[in-house]
Amino acid sequence: MVTTCAGENTQNEAVVNDQDRHRWNRKFLQGEHDSTEPSSVITDIEHLLPRQGNALDVAGGAGRHSLWLAQRGLTVTLVDISDEALRISQTRSQSLGIQLKTVHLDLEQEPLPAGPWDLILAVHYLDRTLFPRFAEALAPGGLLVFLQPTQSNLQRHQRPSARFLLEDGELPALLSGLRTLHYEEGWLVEGRHEALVVAQATSQSSAGSQ
């Protein structure tokens, strides 16, 4: 049995998180996530999304959704662990003449940027502990848009691996304090078995009411 003190645990976590940052930097440098187009699953629900206010793109990578949201009129903050992804997103935003705020953030260790947010978007990033924080950070009436593959996706695709997938039918149970406006789960338009939700904060559950 190996015994570690609290300081050693903190140091080990820092090493792991630094490894994550370097791993994602390498992926973006190699062009593995170089798409500039937003997910068509998200653009298909455009009519449900606001065109003004403050939006937070969680683990938004190189900004394919952030830039789309900003072009629609929202003031967007993109957070990601990869500083290379943030550099790419800033280059793209400048070339388009779009204002985009980027924040280098390890969401496993650091809090969400202070809200309240009119829209929080999380595409293909699963951390179940974030859901209560999403509800707290939303403005009254603010929307959470969350999209993630489920375990059934492994029937056709090897990746993401099982530890990054929702259980089939799990997503609604994670939405405590939010009112579901739109929910679908299945083989969606991009060929993955995914769960998609648009959920709305009530004044009781949101940061804006505190």
Higher pLDDT, 32 or 125: 125
With contact defined as beta carbons under 8 Å apart, do 113 and 93 qualify? no
Q: What is the pLDDT of residue 16?
A: 43
- pLDDT over threshold 70, residue 9: no
Question: Closest by alpha carbon to 43, among 68, 71, 75, 66?
Answer: 68
Reduced to 3 states, what is the DSSP secondary structure of residue 210? coil
pLDDT at 51: 96
Q: What is the pLDDT of residues 111-141, one digit of tens each?
A: 999 889 999 999 999 999 999 999 999 999 9
Cα 148 from Cα 170, distance rounded (Å): 11
59: alpha, beta or left, given left = phi > 0 and alpha = psi -120 to 50? left
173-189 pLDDT per residue, tens? 999 999 999 999 999 99
DSSP-derived 3-state class of residue 94? helix
Structure confidence at residue 108 (pLDDT): 87
Least confident of 38-52, 141-155, 196-210: 196-210
pLDDT at 37 over 50: yes
Phi, psi of 138 (to 5 degrees): -80, 145
